[in-house]
Amino acid sequence: MSTLAWIIAMSALGGALSICAAAAAVYSAGTHRVTALVSYAIGAMLGAVFLEILPHALEHGDPETVAVAILFGILAFFILEKLVLWRHCHQDHCEAHEVQETQHDHGRSGLMVLIGDTFHNFVDGILIATAFLQSTELGIVTALAIIAHEIPQELGDFVVLLHSGFSRAKAFAFNLLSSMATVVGGTIAYFALSKLEGWSPYMLSIAVASMLYVAIADLIPSLHKRAELHATVQQVSLILLGILSIWGVGRLLGAHG
């Protein structure tokens, strides 16, 4: 397969898999499944960052510039999340929380979630393309990590859409349509970045910043809501499983690369 074919295939497949998995979890309404998905996603993202993406960025780029890019990337994602929160919340009342406690809001919150998710998917496509332009192995590992963290995020989106008045069929269809932005982002990035190859290590740095921020700032705090010993053991085990799966995929692809 060509690099462009890999990018399109993994972007499209990743979006479809994450949405189907999230829909299945929401429709079955299993809270323990949500926790498992979040824990595994944390491990997959941290594994991809420290075992694959960061070493490649440091190998092909200036270490100091890579470090600065990661630092400012984390700050940028913090600011972006603040802007999203300010957009959703006003006068000390968060619209996203109100939707879960009241009746439908005629699709207002659902529409905002879809717009934000489409932009996020577009950026994911850019990150996947950047990784594939370095190597097929790195591209596959990066795509798998992104898919893993997309599942709990898509799950949250489904909940908001359903509370916003969308039917199950419409929530699934609109989420699937939004996921196609990953393919668009990946395709555009392929043609743009192939002409700017020197930028790839620093785009990978942004991918590192994105995954670190999501894992540490958004996902890990949610696990602290369950402090029981058995829950902690389960969470740590699933995080380790996520890390080991990325390590295993990386070694397997490396052996056949």
pLDDT tens for 170-189 read 888 888 898 899 999 999 99
Q: Is 29 left (phi over 0), alpha (psi -120 to 50) or beta?
A: left
The proportion of the chain whose per-residue pLDDT surpasses 90, expressed as a percent, equals 21
Tell me the C-alpha distance between 77 and 43, whole Å.
Answer: 20
- Encode pLDDT of 90-127 as tens digits: 544 554 444 343 344 444 456 666 776 787 788 889 88
Q: Contact, 207 vs 128, CB < 8 A?
A: no
Give the dihedral of Cα atoms 69, 204, 251, 184; nearest 10 deg.
160
Tell me the C-alpha distance between 173 and 168, whole Å.
Answer: 9
Q: Contact, 69 vs 202, CB < 8 A?
A: yes
Token pair recorded at residue 30 = 């299993």
